[in-house]
Structure 1
């Protein structure tokens, strides 16, 4: 239902999904669904302000402890919290701790902003997804409970079959393509009660699947460039986001560059 809402500020909190990987821009930076949404909101509201605190590789405990307090202090009209999926992809995860960190973050953010947005994240179809599906669905159940308890909006990307289409996922099989991010931005836009511009759930055009040699070559390239480095970081306790600052740490007018 359209609510004709007015949103003058937006803060995004989370990990690589919200940082914008793999929506790569020509200058080597990432855009992503949160930047796309901010651009559309800014076109509606003069003086619109935007911050993006997300950092790739962050676990929900880090998001709750490092990003949520900063976001709460900004008092924005909209705050989007997306996190926990990195935890479910670890070899071992304590879902009780994941729940506790999510509860802590939501309890802090919900009363501090005009509207909190949570998300059931998309998952790429394939054997890796099947292995982690039970954990992911447990995470999504927690988010549903928290959204109902705290009056947050819940964007259901997981329930949209099109976002499981491998063609909407980058070669690393962990992050959406630019088209995938564009659809997510539209999904959040509509969840905020703003007028739809397209059907973000619409399936892609049918296409013949690649042959066996192509699939095997893609699998080998994926393993060499992405899977093995990812496993190496897990074994050594490192993260791709170690030492990396948020790309937009302050709630500034849209278009203003964050301080260097």
Structure 2
């Protein structure tokens, strides 16, 4: 199937955080790329009239994505919609994967009712992630719901849980929460594979063996991560703030890609 329009919904994963855009290394608005932009580039190469919008904003919870982004996508009536949300909810104590799944299912029904193809995602297995590993069972329950929703409503599914290449830290940025350029490249390749789009990249990444890291260096890296990334993240949670507060989507309109 050819897609003439694509709207991407979600949080920092879909916004493309920590994948610098070509032409500059800054991480300001519009200076990051991400898997969704990479997929849009492939679709635009096939159709010069291809249109793309990215409504994702970092830090958003599933209720916020469903309330603010899904209705805009419904009005745009694109051929393809990607919806990945819930990761930020699962990081918070007391998250309810069953309630989240009901919210997601309602959004998928609304999107599918427009005739759009819908692309859903499982997350990466969190067993290697220091913040998330304790909630691994909660993550697994939610992503099993995502699988069921995709099957019930005829959606495409990108299964990141099975992508072994994403378990290597070389696919992740220093904050250990967001993928880097290589991680986004792999996800984009997987999306293209799922959608049947030609792609030069390969998502079955086989990393070369890593050199052994001195334990002292590792401890210093862990301490820096706590100071520079985990600490500020915890402070924002305690204050009820989000990294996406006050930010608008980087591509709010369904326009010709370019």
- TM-score when normalising by structure 2: 0.93
> Is residue 41 from structure 1 mapped to residue 43 from structure 2 by the alignment?
yes
How many pairs does the alignment contain? 251
Give unmatched runs, 5+ long, in structure 2.
none
2:97, 2:209 → 1: CA distance? 38
> What is the Cα deviation at residue 129 of structure 1?
3.7
> What is the Cα deviation at residue 195 of structure 1?
3.2
Give unmatched runs, 5+ long, in structure 1.
256-260
**Helix, strand or coil at the partner of 2:113:** helix
**Helix, strand or coil at the partner of 2:93:** coil
Q: Contact 1:49–1:251 (CA<8 Å) still a contact in 2?
A: yes
4+ residue runs over 6 A deviation: none
Match of 1:7 in 2: 3
**1:23 to 1:123, Cα distance in 2 relative to 1, 3 A:** farther
> What is the Cα deviation at residue 66 of structure 1?
0.5
Partner residue of 2:176 out of 169, 173, 178:
173
Match of 2:153 in 1: 150
**Helix, strand or coil at the partner of 1:112:** coil
Q: Contact 2:91–2:132 (CA<8 Å) still a contact in 1?
A: no
Q: Contact 1:123–1:163 (CA<8 Å) still a contact in 2?
A: no
Partner residue of 2:217 out of 214, 219, 243:
214
> What is the Cα deviation at residue 162 of structure 1?
1.1
Partner residue of 1:22 out of 14, 18, 22:
18
> What is the Cα deviation at residue 192 of structure 1?
0.4
> Is residue 251 from structure 1 mapped to residue 254 from structure 2 by the alignment?
yes
In the TM superposition, what whole-angstrom CA distance separates every residue of 1:154-208 from its partner, at most 9, and x where no partner exists? 0111111111111111010000010110110110011001235343112211112
**Helix, strand or coil at the partner of 2:178:** coil
> What is the Cα deviation at residue 214 of structure 1?
1.5
**Helix, strand or coil at the partner of 1:54:** coil
> What is the Cα deviation at residue 238 of structure 1?
0.6
**1:114 to 1:33, Cα distance in 2 relative to 1, 3 A:** same
2:97, 2:41 → 1: CA distance? 35
Task: Give matches, 1:73-112, under 5 Å.
Answer: 73-112=75-114
Match of 1:237 in 2: 240
Q: Contact 1:9–1:78 (CA<8 Å) still a contact in 2?
A: yes
> What is the Cα deviation at residue 218 of structure 1?
1.1
> Is residue 132 from structure 1 mapped to residue 128 from structure 2 by the alignment?
no
Match of 1:258 in 2: none
Partner residue of 2:230 out of 212, 227, 230:
227
Partner residue of 1:118 out of 106, 116, 120:
120
1:24, 1:132 → 2: CA distance? 30
The two structures, once aligned, show a CA RMSD in angstroms of 1.4
Q: Contact 2:54–2:251 (CA<8 Å) still a contact in 1?
A: yes
